[in-house]
Structure 1
Amino acid sequence: MKRVVLTLIAVLVTAVGLLWPVIANAGSGSTDAGVDPVVITDYAADLTLADNGRLTATETLTTEFPGWDKHGIFRFWDVADAADAEVRYVPQDISVTMDGQSVPFEMSSEQGGRFKVAKIGDPDSTVSAGTHTYRISYRVDGTIRDGNPGSFIWRVIPNGWKMQILKSTSTIRFPAAPTSFECRVNDGSPCTVGEPDASTRTVTTGALSPTTGVAVKAGLPFAGPGQDRRPWGVSMDPVLGSSPAVPITAVIISLLTLGAGLFWTRRSREDTPLLPVMFEPPADPQSPKRFLGPAATHFVIHEAMPKKALIATLFHLAEQGHIGLERASSTDWTITARMSASEYAALDGPSAVVMSALGLTARGATFAADGSTEAGEKLKGATDQLTKTTKSWALTTGVLRRSPFEIIGRVVVGVAFVIGALLMALGFVPTIVGLPFAAFMIGGVGLLLAGVGTRRTRLGRQVWSRAGGFERLLSTPSNQDRLDFSAREDLYTSFIPYAIAFDCADAWAAKYRYTTGQEPPDPVWLPGLYYGAGAHGLMSGGTSGLDSFESSLSSSLSAYSASQSSSSGGGGFGGSFSGGGGGSW
């Protein structure tokens, strides 16, 4: 189940990583309708169209700056075609001059690459008041629309200029005389078409308000040469790139890396051995005369610590008579050491570190689980030491061995995640380029589960078989008739710590009821079991000693955690810019 959840999370993270440019740009757009203080007194566009669809353009802008703190102007191009989502018009070979001299400019993209922006001017200096002339040159391929005959539709003055334009002249040179030609201004104001020669047309206008463009449409006497198309809209360009070859290649490689991750994960799993029902815990390989404790028994089966490892271990010690549990109040408990030095030395490793962490190494020593920060700190230390020692015990006894194959797999999954995340997040390549790495992570996410990195030895599989069989005894209704609780009065209570470790205490109590027809007995090592009437048995309703003890430990741990926490804060701001045409800055 954990592997399924992790896989679903990995798939979700990958989907977000792939599509974040689309998500981020879904609601972007400018709401600024202000008029730019810089005025274009004369807008002259010179366009030359080749029969292969290449358009070479030079725009000469005569501007009047008011003398405010302006660094220059900007020009941006909308690469999308509103009438055909598969076509792109990407400006190339952009060059800019100001007053006949070179001027610095910086190119960038907005809204996931839909707009190519040229920010013209020096950020460290401002433009003086008066008249300044900018010349912007560029080329665009694939501008002749498909069809026979072909056609040319173009905005000689883009809609997005935020400056007022006092007059404009656009000259369009065709490779052959157009069969038809017309112009149109956005707001319906007039435009005049001139014909200097058979293959040239001019379009002139008077004053144009900000965000008012001029479009031309020409019929051509030849078929369109074909446009570079992409089978997706411009919003998907940051995801899929500029060519179908990019996503196709990425998907093929991703299938291979997904398979590699799945194979690696499958190789990391161990086949479950036979689990015949066992009527006692497995023997400790280090000392066959004693049983494994609850935490170690659970760890051998699942290669993970039980959720209530500390409680199960303390109850196990209490059941053996090594400690006494005394209820000090409805919420507080006192633990008292009852073992001699020799008995302490004979304890298994996990039990010994718990006793040591709680200061219970000498007979008569006590520990108060009273909800205090100090108690919580000791309990936290005991839990950490129990986990560390149990894992170390499994390796030193030869139950487990380290698996370099699985350890390397974990590292590779981590590296794949980092590389995939960087490729998707940084934006210098289409996000789908990161998919092969993400696919390996999805297939190999099972390598991140507990237990991966170690494998059970032959001895470990034998102990696993016995421990798993014992878990079956406590957690399933099978073999009820073979349990003779009457022959051993403490049989039920002695296995309670293991039932807690396996999280099947209710099932173990139900098995006792079914077998004997009676309520489970109260363990003598857990005093003051209930308050109030109507409660029967350790795991039935009411306020039980188990609940009280667990609550006491949780209260202490919570107090410690609260003392370690600290407040944090932060803030930020953000914004966006979009549009089409240009303005000043």
Structure 2
Amino acid sequence: MTRKLSLIFMIILLFSLFVVNPVLAAKTYSADRFDVYIELQEDGSAVVTETVVFRFQGGDFTYVFRDISATETDGLTFLEASMDGVLMPPGTGAGQVEVRAGDSLKVMWHFPPSSDAHTFVLRYRADGVIRKGDADAFIWRAIPPEHEYSIASSTVTLIYPSDAKLLEQPGLSRSFQSRSTDDSIILTSSNIPENEEMIITARFAAGSLTAATPQWQIRQTQRNTATRTALPVGFVAGLVTLVLGGLGFLTYARSNSRELPAYSEVVTAIPPGNVPPAVVGKLTGQQGGFMGTIFDLAQRGVLEVQEERGFLGSTKHILVRKPSSVILRPHEQGLLDALFKPGESQVNMSEIGARLSMKNKSFEESLERELVERGWLDLERKQKRTRQVALAILGMIAMMTLGIISLFGFGSSLGGGSIATTLFAAILGAGVAGFLLSLILAIYAGTFSVLTPLGEEQSARWKGFAKYLEQVSKGREPAIRPDLFEIYLPVAAVFGLGAKWAKYFEQLGGVPLPVWFHAMAGSQGDFSAMVAVMSSSDSTAASAAAGGAAGASGGGSSGAG
């Protein structure tokens, strides 16, 4: 009994050491207050004093930082920083403040390890913060959008010149209370959660606060004016390019059009002819032609499929090449050479797609020659489509590159001359139109038939037979003979219907397994094993085929560690 109690005590002790203690020891901090004192100047600048009282808990902290964005200002200037009422000299050691200026003003207070409450004060000058327009507007992020701590309360005090005339009561972007004096407004808010910014907005009569327009606003106005001037030029350039290119494309397409009968894909229960499965696949644009050839070769005694036990009890299917004197067509020999390495007689069917994708040149070239010999493939149209695809790809790459360069040039030239901006806008518009034309050409190439009229007719007839096989697989055709399962199996595999075809005959019942399929030793050898093979073949064929609101100044972030 004592040993059991001791064991339980040890478990509880270990749990408290490794689970409870780290949670309790996690460092946390919050701000009792984040006060901002803003003094607006007659030159359009503001002197800002931020006072933050941090409360550190759960461990020692050694620094506090403040990052103030200079966006929509004419620059930020650091004035001074203090901790607990003591000014801190510049530096990176304890008791010093580190300051970095640039796109933002970065300030970091360094101090000895501490877990108490401390007061941090930062004073800086922000130039060009009064926005000119129908009013002199001051919009400032008093509390930054990024602060991983809660703030109990915040008081924002706005001091402005006595000659400035307020148009309306200043406000904050969240609930607040306010009070005012002759030349100041005091706004207070509380319970500010993590990462919630607080913006102060004050509007004065135009020209009553300052006569100077911020340089950033002048540049922004110039950019907006240049953009409004240049964009119509870019639009016209793009439209002209699109119209002229479209006319050229229509002329080209008309010159390559053919008057062909409307070959409909009529559902038929009779195969259109004695055509090798892979040739049917090439003719109709299917990716499963090689699987059809595999099953056709199996029926002719060249190949067989063995079911074996795989890793962790899984099932795998092995394709075995048998000694045979069967005369092979060139594309059949090319397929076997791609699937089986020299001296190899077995291959896992899951590897077939990968092997064929790496070594299919002989297989594909042989199929193409056979289509030409049968009068089904027009080599001249095939060459045209190859050029169309190449031109479309090169066009999209070139137009995308031109668009990126012109877009960068357009943005860079907004602060300069209007001629350069307009030129880049025109190039950008033409580039976008050129990309669209290249995309249209790519789509056209995808629909551009390389078959002869006879080939088009044969393709439609075989697709009609494939529809019949699909209807049978769905049980929408009258019952057919069980022996047709194996007879039509290669064609079903070509059109990706192998699994559905096998499942239908499994439900039909009374269908023997093909002699070239060897079920795993110890298994029942039922037709479900054949369904698994066909599902695998369909997957293999698929894998082979895959081969608006106004902005605010200030902001940034704040935190400690």
The two structures have a TM-score, normalised by structure 2, of 0.49
The answer to which structure has the higher helix fraction is 2
The two structures have a TM-score, normalised by structure 1, of 0.48
